[in-house]
Amino acid sequence: MSFELFIALRYLLARRKQAFISLISLISTLGVAVGVMALIIALGLMTGLQGELRDRILGSSAHVYVWKVGGIADYHAEVARLGAVDGVVGAGPAILGKALIVAGDAQAFISLKGVDPELEGRVTDIQQSMLQGSVQALAGTAEGQLPGILLGRGLAAQLGVKLGDSVNVQTPQGTLSPMGMIPRIRRLQVAGIYSLGLYEFDSEYGFISLDLARRLLGREQPELIELRVADIYKAPEIAQRVMDQLGPDYSAEDWADLNQSLFSALWLEKMGLSIAIGLIVTVAALNIVASLVLLVMEKSRDIAILKTMGTSASRVMRIFMVQGLIIGLIGTTLGGVGGLALCWVLDTYKLIHIPMDVYQVSYVPFVVLPLDFIVVILSSILICFVATIYPSRQASKLDPVQALRFE
State the pLDDT confidence band at 398, using cuts at 50, 70 and 90.
Answer: confident
Residue 332: domain span: 3-57+262-405
- 3 state DSSP class of 186: strand
Do the domain assignments include residue 10?
Answer: yes
CA angle 148, 64, 131 (to 5 degrees): 35
Q: Are residues 42 and 75 in the same domain?
A: no
Q: Are residues 109 and 202 in the same domain?
A: yes
Compute the distance between CA of residue 374 and CA of residue 354 in angstroms, rounded to an integer: 29
Sign of CA dihedral 8, 10, 13, 19: negative
405 pLDDT higher than 80:
no
Do the domain assignments include residue 354?
Answer: yes
- Neighbour count for residue 340 (Cβ, 10 Å): 17
- Largest Cα–Cα distance of the chain, in whole Å? 113
Residues whose CB is less than 8 angstroms from the CB of residue 126 and which lie 6 or more positions away in sequence, other chains included: 120, 135, 150, 194, 196, 207
Compute the distance between CA of residue 127 and CA of residue 247 in angstroms, rounded to an integer: 33
Mean pLDDT of the residues in the chain:
88
Q: Are residues 102 and 138 in the same domain?
A: yes
Compute the distance between CA of residue 103 and CA of residue 206 in angstroms, rounded to an integer: 14
Long-range pairs for 171-175 at CB < 8 Å and ≥24 separation? 171/97, 171/98, 171/99, 171/100, 171/112, 171/216, 171/217, 171/218, 172/98, 172/99, 173/97, 173/216, 173/217, 173/218
The DSSP symbol for 232 reads G
Taking only the tens place, the pLDDT of each residue in 189-225 is 999 999 998 888 999 999 999 999 998 988 889 999 9
Question: Which pLDDT score, from 0 to 100, does residue 127 have?
Answer: 92
307 pLDDT higher than 80:
yes
Q: Are residues 35 and 74 in the same domain?
A: no
Question: Which pLDDT score, from 0 to 100, does residue 284 have?
Answer: 79
**Which of residues 205 and 284 earns the better pLDDT score?**
205
Read off the amino acid at residue 52: E
What are the angstrom distances between the C-alpha of 145 and each of 136, 139, 162, 396?
14, 10, 17, 91
Do the domain assignments include residue 62?
Answer: no
Return phi, psi of residue 393, to 5°: -65, -40
Burial 17-37 (b: 16+ CB within 10 A, else e): ebeebbebbbbbbbbbbbbbb
Do the domain assignments include residue 294?
Answer: yes
Instruction: Average the pLDDT over 226-255 and give the result.
Output: 94
Q: Are residues 207 and 340 in the same domain?
A: no
Q: Are residues 278 and 241 in the same domain?
A: no
What pTM was computed for the model?
Answer: 0.81
State the pLDDT confidence band at 290, using cuts at 50, 70 and 90.
Answer: confident
Do the domain assignments include residue 308?
Answer: yes
What are the angstrom distances between the C-alpha of 104 and each of 159, 160, 167, 189, 208?
8, 9, 8, 14, 20
Compute the distance between CA of residue 383 and CA of residue 20 in angstroms, rounded to an integer: 24
State the pLDDT confidence band at 175, using cuts at 50, 70 and 90.
Answer: low
Question: Which pLDDT score, from 0 to 100, does residue 17 have?
Answer: 55
Q: Are residues 77 and 130 in the same domain?
A: yes
Q: Are residues 44 and 91 in the same domain?
A: no
Residues whose CB is less than 8 angstroms from the CB of residue 78 and which lie 6 or more positions away in sequence, other chains included: 66, 68, 72, 91, 93, 225
Taking only the tens place, the pLDDT of each residue in 84-116 is 999 999 999 999 999 999 999 999 999 999 999
Question: Which pLDDT score, from 0 to 100, does residue 376 have?
Answer: 92
Taking only the tens place, the pLDDT of each residue in 4-47 is 888 887 777 765 555 666 777 788 889 899 989 999 999 999 89
